[in-house]
Structures are given as C-alpha cells and as structure tokens.
Amino acid sequence: MTSRAEILAVAEGLSLGAGPAALAVDVGGTGMKAALFDAGGRIVDARTAPTPECTHSAATEVMDVIAGFHSAFADEHRDHPVTEAAVVIPGIVDEASGIGILSANLGWRNVAFRELLNERLNLDVTLSHDVRAAGRAEFDLVEDTPADAVMITIGTGIAAAIRVGGRLISSGGYAGEVGFTEVAVDTAEGLFRGPIEHIASASSIAKRYSQRSGTEVAGSLDVLDAVHAGDPIAHQVFAEAVEALAAMCAQIAAVVAPATIVLGGGLSGADELLDGVAAGLESRLDVHRMPSVRRAGLGPVAGLIGAGLLTRDVA
C-alpha cells in the first residue's frame, strides 16, 4: 500500500493551480489515500487508511473513513480550512449524477456518494472515477499530452481513461471499462480467447505463472523479476500478457484513435511492457493512427492528484 511519505514525495513537486483549499480522496481496492491541498494548489499533508472490507456496509464505512480524513486535517491544519472536496472511486461511476453505480470489488450498487458526502462533510463534493481521475492527472500534469489520448491502468483490473479532443469522456460512467473486452492471443498452451483481465491483469499474470511453473508467487512484479533473471516460463507468461494488451490497444485505436497511449500500474515500470505493446501495435495497425506509448509518471498517486484537480474544475 502506498505510504504517506510516498504520496508527499510525488506530490511535492506538483501544483494543481490556484483555487480553494481542498480535500482529495482516492478510494482504492485495498487502500484509501487522502491529501490536503492549499489555496496555491500545493500539497500540505496526506493520510492513508485501509479500505473497508466488501460488506453490505462498505459504502458507509468508506464515507466514515473520508469523514475521518476531513476532521483530522481540520484539526491539524487550521490555517487551511477546506471548502471543496473531490472523491474518486473504482467501478462504474456516473459523474453527472454523483452516483457510484457499481463496484464489484467493494460490493456497492447505486450509492449517491456525492449527495451523502455533501451532507456529511458539509462541503461541495465532486465524485469521479479513479482511473479517469488518474488519466486527468497524467494528461494535464506530467507532460504535454495530445488532445486525443488514452491512459490504461493495469492492476487487479484493467480500465482506461479516454480523452478525445481534449476532454475526458464518461458516457454515463461506462466509458473505458475495457477490462472484460475479449482478446484472442496465441499462448504456449494454445489459443487464449477471453476477457483481457484473465490474461493481462497483474493478478492474472501472477496466477498464470504460478500455475505453469509450479512456483507460487505473490504478485506480477515477482514474475517480472523472474523475466529479468532469465526464467523462460516467466518470459512466456509476460509476453502473452503483453500481446493481449497490444490486441486491446489496437481495438481502442480503431475506435477512438489516440495519438498517445499512457500505460500505468506497477508493471508499467518495465521497458518490456512498453516496448512490447508498441511493437504489437505496429504489427496490428495499418490505416490507423499509430499512437506513441509512454509510461505513467505519477505512479499510484495519480488518482489522488487527479481528484485534487477536480476541485479546480469546480472552482
């Protein structure tokens, strides 16, 4: 889980721009992060907490944690009274209505987070989607990004933030839910044909390696280490995931034609991933625009910074 120190280290060099002092919260699958930004858009402080378990009351408990972040910042930083807040959550999120439509991992359906948080915090709260918020931060703050760009986050799940003509698209909250898109990939075990998350998510990479090698690994970064150590099974499993990602990126290119694809998530540190996806796209795209491929710059803090940026839109 990302620590307070890591958040501060990444955010220190960034500015959201002027606006109200603001609370930003990123609700992740395992951990929640919060940041307090001052009127200059600089980070003042950060806090983290484990995400409540997936139960009937998860949404309420998540809001309890958010209220706790808010009062802790209020107590400790009286010189930065917060007047705006933005909360980003996973799953299907309708920004326009402020409703969390679905989170399979956290177990909620149709929760009016914005309205409930407005009352609870007595603040103007903006609700958005974690991956779209991360995309906003990557597109706006990291480097000059073309008006047509896509950021893909590869974690436990796979989702995309899609910017077209300089605007992030939402489509009622359903845009960029590419994790279940079907891909067909040749593998050492024959043709894989199924949802991209079953072959290329971080957890699937770890699972496929464990199954094929007989060696249990904790996560996809262990598989990457094994690739670097010359393990042929790790190499194969990783290459198959990369092929699947390239196939998915080619689908995205055919529909929205980004000029740049940004890859995020823990594995995006690997040159093999970036180069492999770029090569796979080169071999697949013909009449389409060939996007450049780069890695995300803000790591696990992108969603939190993106939430911070949303308090600037509102102002």
User: Which of 174, 211, 283, 313 touches its own copies by CB under 8 A?
Assistant: 174
The Cα–Cα gap between 14 and 260 comes to 22
How many Å separate Cα 169 from the centre of its chain? Answer: 15
Residue 53 is given by DSSP the state: P
For residue 218, count other CB atoms closer than 10 A to its CB: 9
Q: Which of residues 81-120 bind its own copies (CB under 8 A)?
A: 92, 102, 104
Residue 297 is given by DSSP the state: S
Q: Which stretch binds its own copies (CB under 8 A): 19-27, 116-124, 165-173, 211-219?
A: 165-173
Cβ 267 vs Cβ 227: under 8 Å: no
Q: Considering beta carbons, is residue 188 or 255 the nearer one to its own copies? A: 255
Amino acid at 248: M
The Cα–Cα gap between 85 and 125 comes to 5
Strand-pairing partners, residue 190, are 187
Cβ 90 vs Cβ 27: under 8 Å: yes
Interaction of residue 279 with its own copies, rule CB under 8 A: no
Interaction of residue 153 with its own copies, rule CB under 8 A: no
Interaction of residue 165 with its own copies, rule CB under 8 A: yes
Q: Which of 31, 29, 38, 40 is nearest to 6 (CA)?
A: 31
Residue found by looking up tokens 């009127």 in the block: 39
Instruction: Work out how close the CB of 154 gets to its own copies at its nearest, in angstroms, rounded to a whole number.
Output: 15
Q: Which of 253, 10, 310 is nearest to 132 (CA)?
A: 310
Count, residues near its own copies per rule CB under 8 A: 40
Q: Which stretch binds its own copies (CB under 8 A): 53-61, 62-70, 170-178, 306-314?
A: 170-178
Q: Considering beta carbons, is residue 19 or 173 the nearer one to its own copies? A: 173
Interaction of residue 54 with its own copies, rule CB under 8 A: no
How many Å separate Cα 97 from the centre of its chain? Answer: 21
Per-residue binding string, its own copies, 183-222, x by CB under 8 A, is -x------x-x-----------------------------
Per-residue binding string, its own copies, 233-252, x by CB under 8 A, is --------------x--xxx
Q: Which of 205, 94, 118 is nearest to 157 (CA)?
A: 205
Residue 268 is given by DSSP the state: G
Q: Which stretch binds its own copies (CB under 8 A): 81-89, 109-117, 216-224, 280-288?
A: 280-288
User: Which of 232, 255, 292, 313 touches its own copies by CB under 8 A?
Assistant: 255
Q: Considering beta carbons, is residue 40 or 172 the nearer one to its own copies? A: 172
Q: Which stretch binds its own copies (CB under 8 A): 80-88, 129-137, 177-185, 209-217?
A: 177-185
User: Which of 10, 133, 256, 277 touches its own copies by CB under 8 A?
Assistant: 256
Backbone angles phi, psi at 305, to 5 degrees: -65, -40
Residue found by looking up tokens 């995020």 in the block: 264
Instruction: Work out how close the CB of 148 gets to its own copies at its nearest, in angstroms, rounded to a whole number.
Output: 4
Burial code (b: 16+ CB inside 10 Å, e: under 16) for 54-70 equals eeeebbeebbebbeebb
User: Which of 3, 18, 71, 289 touches its own copies by CB under 8 A?
Assistant: 289
Site residues (vs its own copies, CB under 8 A): 92, 102, 104, 148, 160, 162, 164-165, 167, 169-172, 174-178, 180-182, 184, 191, 193, 247, 250-259, 284, 286-289
